[in-house]
Amino acid sequence: MMSDSIQTVTVLSKTTWTPTLFSFTVTRPDSFKFTAGQFVRLGVNPSQLKYYADLSAAEQESAVDEDIFRAYSIVSSPFDEVLEFFSIVIPDGAFTSQLQHLEVGDELLLNTMPFGFLTLARYQKPLPKDLWLLATGTGLAPFLSMLQDLKTWEDYDDIILAYSARTQDELAYVELIERLAEDFGSLVDNPAKFTFVPIVTRTQVEGMLNERLPKLLLDGTLQQHVGKALDPDSTHIMLCGNPDMVNDTKEALKSLGLTMNRRGEGNIAVENYW
């Protein structure tokens, strides 16, 4: 029997960024509320997807015929009428290997209980002046949600989004990112100054940094590129991405004098999905 907190949502659109990266939107239940930065659990049953009917009998028999749930940060604003998610395809992954076949009209399951503490509300008041959002891969998702919330633009003087991927093709949502200040900052009287720093680690791209975030922070390259120092008294830093990046960057920041955020005090906030 399905829990009261589990609702069915319908796929409205799908965007393929690379063979292993895609985004999709789904309908939003009327009663569903969340805070920018939170994540939800999405469920899929392979036998309910459209592509399943095209599989051979042997392939259908070997497919998992049960609901599988995974955590996904929400890309869309808390005020959007639809919900958007950003996904990577994990080879042989029970969930994403099925989710990559999504088509418009497919149905997914949504646990309507939002989770997570990677939200701006966790920080102490009054708010420090600058917000650094450091992401790799699909870890960009919660930061896009925050940046589509007008309050974020009202609360800070400076916002820096550093987004790292292996190749330039894997830098998704760049057009949206480049419109954020105009689309959202323009609606605020004194909006934060927004700086976007795309980073590519596997190839050299003119005008882009190309080292891992921990190294860029430790040697001061990122701060110099942005034109702003990290100050324990005025800086908020949020990290989201693969566990190695989060752990290494967290340690780099601590070595630079910043501290983990606990009970509203400190600079560094991370999300734990694993």
135's CB contacts (< 8 A; 6+ apart) are: 143, 161, 162, 163, 164, 239, 240, 241
The per-residue pLDDT for range 206-246, each reduced to its tens digit, is 889 999 999 999 999 999 999 999 999 889 999 999 999 99
Domains of the chain: 6-115 (2.40.30.10), 120-270 (3.40.50.80)
Q: CA torsion angle for 110, 111, 112, 113 (degrees, to 10)?
A: -150
How much is the pTM?
0.90
- What's the confidence (pLDDT) of residue 64? 55
- What's the confidence (pLDDT) of residue 28? 97
- What's the confidence (pLDDT) of residue 3? 63
- Of 110, 99, 134, the C-alpha closest to 22 is 99
Task: List the strands of the sheet with 21-27, edge to edge.
Answer: 68-73, 39-44, 107-115, 6-18, 21-27, 82-88
Q: How many CB atoms lie within 10 A of CB 1?
A: 4
Those residues of the chain that have pLDDT short of 50 are 1, 56, 58-60, 274
- What's the confidence (pLDDT) of residue 112? 94
70's CB contacts (< 8 A; 6+ apart) are: 41, 42, 95, 96
